[in-house]
């Protein structure tokens, strides 16, 4: 039976474009996999602890030498990795905060880098590469080629590298200029914002398009 892992990270609740896109993608996935099951994580509402000095080195220490704090971190990491192994598809919402990813998403990625669980330490082969990873990104401004802030989006540049050891390869769908509808200074960009969002939604609608999709 097909299984989906759906992860949201935006702190904007119902105003969030990344949440809007992941919800749309999850609906399309369910339509294509009517017998499928879903696990949902909201890292804004229920964030993972960031790695710290007490337990953060758990992945680098043999389990039989773990302190209690390291054992707790290690168990959490294995649970998160198993969520991915159990899924056929992972959906992740990726808003852009201060030109980078939400720290909660960074914490999720940090928990995934565990030798023997997400990658083979002898061969450096990623062990999660059989899982489809769809990343629905939203960014308030414009960061495309030729724009003043070209290259300032460090979230999309970082994520493939952050996950590289695991074998996960993100497929990115992005809506940008998402602040334009609410920002008077960006009023002239609103048509471009609408086009970008429509293009992202159309790309979402093509995911798993070999199966019937409701209008």
What CATH number did the domain enclosing 165 receive?
3.40.50.360
Return the pLDDT at 212: 46
Return the pLDDT at 215: 43
If you average pLDDT over every residue of the chain, what do you get? 95
Share of the chain above pLDDT 70, in %: 97
Residue 181 pLDDT exceeds 80: yes
Return the pLDDT at 4: 98
Render the burial of 63-83: b for 16+ CB within 10 Å, e for the rest: eeebeeebeebbeebbebbeb
Which residue in 37, 131, 46, 124 sits closest to 84, CA to CA? Answer: 131
Say if 193 falls within a structural domain: yes
Return the pLDDT at 144: 87
Share of the chain above pLDDT 90, in %: 95
- Domains: count for the chain: 1
Q: What CA–CA distances, in Å, run from 169 to 126, 131, 163? A: 10, 9, 7
Say if 52 falls within a structural domain: yes
Return the pLDDT at 210: 67
**What's the whole-model pTM score?**
0.93
Mind listing the pLDDT tens digit for each residue in 42-74?
999 999 999 999 999 999 999 999 999 999 999
Return the pLDDT at 214: 44
Say if 213 falls within a structural domain: no
Residue 209 pLDDT exceeds 50: yes
Say if 118 falls within a structural domain: yes
Band the pLDDT of 29: cuts 50, 70, 90. Answer: very high
Say if 100 falls within a structural domain: yes
Contact partners, residue 115, CB within 8 Å, separation at least 6? 59, 121
Q: What residues make up the domain containing 170? A: 3-206
Say if 98 falls within a structural domain: yes
Say if 134 falls within a structural domain: yes
Say if 39 falls within a structural domain: yes
Return the pLDDT at 213: 44
């Amino acid at each position: 039976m097909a299984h989906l892992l759906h992860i949201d990270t935006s702190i904007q609740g119902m105003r969030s474009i990344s949440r809007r896109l992941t919800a749309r993608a999850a609906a399309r996935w369910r339509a294509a996999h009517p017998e499928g099951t879903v696990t949902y994580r909201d890292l804004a509402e229920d964030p993972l602890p960031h790695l710290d000095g007490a337990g953060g080195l758990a992945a680098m220490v043999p389990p039989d030498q773990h302190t209690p704090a390291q054992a707790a971190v290690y168990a959490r990491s294995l649970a998160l990795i198993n969520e991915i192994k159990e899924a056929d598809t992972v959906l992740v919402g990726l808003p852009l905060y201060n030109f980078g990813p939400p720290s909660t998403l960074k914490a999720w990625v940090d928990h995934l880098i565990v030798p023997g669980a997400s990658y083979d330490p002898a061969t450096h082969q990623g062990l999660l590469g059989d899982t489809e990873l769809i990343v629905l990104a939203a960014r308030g401004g414009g960061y495309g080629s030729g724009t003043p802030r070209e290259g300032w989006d460090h979230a999309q540049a970082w994520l493939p590298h952050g996950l590289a050891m695991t074998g996960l390869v993100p497929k990115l769908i992005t809506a940008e200029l998402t602040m334009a509808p609410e920002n008077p200074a960006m009023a002239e960009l609103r048509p471009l914002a609408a086009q970008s969002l429509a293009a992202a939604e159309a790309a979402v609608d093509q995911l798993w398009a070999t199966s019937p999709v409701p209008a």
